[in-house]
Amino acid sequence: MTGVGKAAPVRPTLGAAVNAIVEKYPHTQFGIAVYDLDARKMVYSLDAQRFFLAASTTKLLTEGTTLALLGPDYRFTTNVYRTGPIDANGTLQGDVVLKASGDPNLSGRIQPDGTLAFENEDHSYDGSPDTKAVPGNPLAVIDDLAAQIAARGIKKVNGAVIVDDTMFAGGYPESGTGVVVSPIVVNDNIIDVTVTPGAKQGDPVSIQVSPETPYPMFAINASTGAPKSDRSISVPEGDAAQDGSRTVTITGTLPAGSSPILYAYDVPSPRVFAEMALTQALKNRGIAFGDIFVVDTGVGFGEIPANVIATHVSPPLSQDVKVTLKVSDNLHASIMPYLWSPKHTLQAGFGLERAFMQRAGLDTSQIVQSDGLGAFAFIQPQYMVRYLAYLRTQPYFSVLYSALPILGVDGTLFNIANNSPARGKVHAKTGTWSGGDLLNQRAMVSGKGLAGYMTTASGRHIAFCFYINNLAVPRGQDASRVSGQINGALATAVYLHAP
């Protein structure tokens, strides 16, 4: 008599797999859309027609529009002009004027092969042991411009270095990391301050500053805290002097025995920062300055080719799209809408974005967007997957796809679902918006998103969008990581169970 074999295990449906995750969080709102790109149909949805706080998944709209309107091969050209003649002794009788072009990568990101480097936890997201700045000279582009100016035979400037930042109306901190939005962007408008604790509690901390410029002078009034105590380092805006430079006093504590932590000093005036950096770079090349002190008006010079004394041409825009999406760079995304229209205003830019999406047959009433980064943005999941499906048909799709973080591998997904069978199979953009709950000593994730593409275990090509709104996270837990792992679990469910 033959034995009776065990019945094969029944594979749960996608709906059952998703419900098993969602029902663990009864006070949280989930919006989910899963779209089969091969069959061109929705295979699962949960409240996909409702608006959800989208956070940085909005950057998919921003960068897709940027690729459509400007093209992946677009390059920024930043020129430096002279406002007067150069005499026989090499003296420039006038000012050195850098005309800001909106290039977000006047930095050390540029590699010898023309690509742009990034770190998974970028330096604008400071205060974490994972935060890093890209290796190299953060003033590499500024130093190259100075070298070009010196090569023109200029030995002295009877004037000042001026940055013309009138391309668009920036000057405000973006709402995510607080970096100031501007047409001039040197080192992401950040000075990296790496703080190291002393040997024992009570010892002063030490700092390392990059880049070093005359713009900020740092004073230390911070000390080493007890082992395993909370970090409380503060790097404030500081006090401004008449010439625009700053005196910044660092306060707080860093626990004994902890690793060095990178903190970002968000420069209050990107224009003054760039002016002082270029002035110092010229002095380092042996160029002297006269006694003339010029108050910058940012205007009044002739932008003609004969007056150009230095030029920087950026890597292709496709490289900046990769940086923006991989690390969720708020500053870079904030700049893009200003560039879509020759008027360089947000209203004109978003008018062109709306026209682009309407030509694609998309219903823009299903989204709310007023900036490039997603500080105030609401998206219906059903819209996002149809938008992603459209992008997949466009000639620039490979650029956008390769720019997306990969689950469990890199970018903002480097530490999510590392042991999932979906690891490496999901290319998607994250988004997080959260705040504190002092009353209950916890965090509230008001918006967490994950949207992108995957090839499932069964070989189906999927566009998906997950939104988690209003998730309470207990004290002591990393709110972004906790909510990110929930989205990682949803991605795994789709990977394994999508029909």
Buried b (16+ CB within 10 A) or exposed e, 354-379: eebbeebebebebbebebbbbbebbb
Does 293 have pLDDT greater than 70? Answer: no
pLDDT at 124 (0 to 100):
95
With a cut of 70, say whether residue 1 has pLDDT above it: no
- What pLDDT does 12 receive? 75
Cα distance between residue 464 and residue 273, in whole Å:
42
- Select from 317, 277, 315, 325 the least CA-distant residue to 111: 315
Per-residue pLDDT tens digits for 355-403:
999 999 999 999 999 999 999 999 999 999 999 999 999 999 999 999 9
Angle CA 123–222–187, to nearest 5: 20
**In percent, how much of the chain has pLDDT > 90?**
94
Q: Where are the domains of the chain?
A: 14-71+318-497, 77-315
What confidence score (pLDDT) does residue 424 get?
98
Cα distances (angstroms) measured from residue 220 to each of 216, 223, 295, 441: 13, 8, 31, 30
Q: At a CB cut-off of 8 Å and minimum separation 6, what does 349 contact?
A: 336, 337, 338, 339, 340, 341
In the chain, the amino acid numbered 251 is T
Bond preceding residue 211 cis, omega within 30 of 0: yes
Pick from 113, 65, 100, 133: which is nearest to 321 by CA? Answer: 65
Lowest mean pLDDT of 115-129, 205-219, 285-299, 474-488, name the range.
Answer: 285-299
Tell me: pLDDT of 291 over 90. no
Count of residues making up the chain: 499
**pLDDT higher than threshold 50 for residue 3:** no
Tell me, what amino acid is at 486? I
Q: CB-side exposure of 15: number of CA atoms within 13 Å?
A: 5
The predicted model gives 191-206 an average pLDDT of: 97
Reading phi first (left if > 0) and then psi (alpha if -120 to 50, else beta), residue 355 is in alpha
Instruction: For residues 206 and 196, give the distance between their C-alpha atoms in angstroms, rounded to a whole number.
Output: 5
- pLDDT, residue 303, reads 79
Stretch 60-70: mean pLDDT, rounded?
98
What is the mean pLDDT of the segment spanning 265-270? 98
Query: Alpha carbon 309 to chain centroid distance?
Result: 31
CATH value of 14-71+318-497 in 1.10.10.10, 3.30.420.40, 2.40.160.20, 3.40.710.10? 3.40.710.10
Pick the range with the lowest mean pLDDT from 205-214, 285-294, 395-404. Answer: 285-294
Residue 47: Cβ within 10 Å count: 17
Which of 210-219, 295-304, 358-367 bottoms out in mean pLDDT, i.e. has the lowest? 295-304
Average pLDDT over residues 121-134: 95
Residues 360/352, Cβ–Cβ less than 8 Å: no
With CA atoms as reference, report the closest residue to 47 among 383, 390, 370.
383
Q: What is the DSSP string of 133-183?
A: PPSS-TTHHHHHHHHHHHHTT--EESS-EEEE--SS---EE-TTT-PEE-S
Contacts of 304-309 with C-beta under 8 Å, sequence gap 24+, read: 307/81, 307/82, 307/83, 308/79, 308/80, 308/81, 309/80, 309/81, 309/82, 309/96, 309/148, 309/149, 309/152, 309/154
pLDDT greater than 70 at residue 298: no
Query: What is the spatial distance between Cα 378 and Cα 53, in angstroms, rounded to a whole number?
Result: 5
| Of the candidates 40, 52, 20, the residue with the CA atom closest to the CA atom of residue 496 | 20
pLDDT band (50, 70, 90) for residue 476: confident
Q: Using the predicted structure, report yes or no on whether residue 470 has a pLDDT greater than 50.
A: yes
Cα gap 352→365, rounded to integer Å: 15
Residue 11: predicted pLDDT: 60
pLDDT of residue 87: 94
Q: Report the distance separating Cα 363 and Cα 51, nearest Å.
A: 13
Integer CA distances (angstroms), 163 to 97, 148, 331, in order: 6, 17, 19
How much is the pLDDT for 296? 44
Is the model's pLDDT at 464 over the cut of 70?
Answer: yes
Mean pLDDT (whole number) for 473-487: 94
Q: So what's the pLDDT on residue 89? A: 95
**Least-confidence region, from 10-19, 176-185, 335-344:** 10-19
**Alpha helix (H) residue ranges in 361-452:** 381-391, 397-403
**What is the rounded CA–CA span in Å between residue 78 and residue 76?**
6
Please tell me what DSSP assigns to residue 40: T
Minimal CA–CA distance to 184: which of 64, 312, 74? 312
Q: Is the pLDDT of residue 416 over 90?
A: yes
What is the rounded end-to-end Cα distance, in angstroms, of the chain? 38
What is d(CA 115, CA 118) in angstroms, rounded to the nearest whole number?
10
The gap from C-alpha 419 to its chain's centroid, in whole angstroms, comes to: 26
CB proximity list for 440: less than 8 A, separation 6 or greater? 472
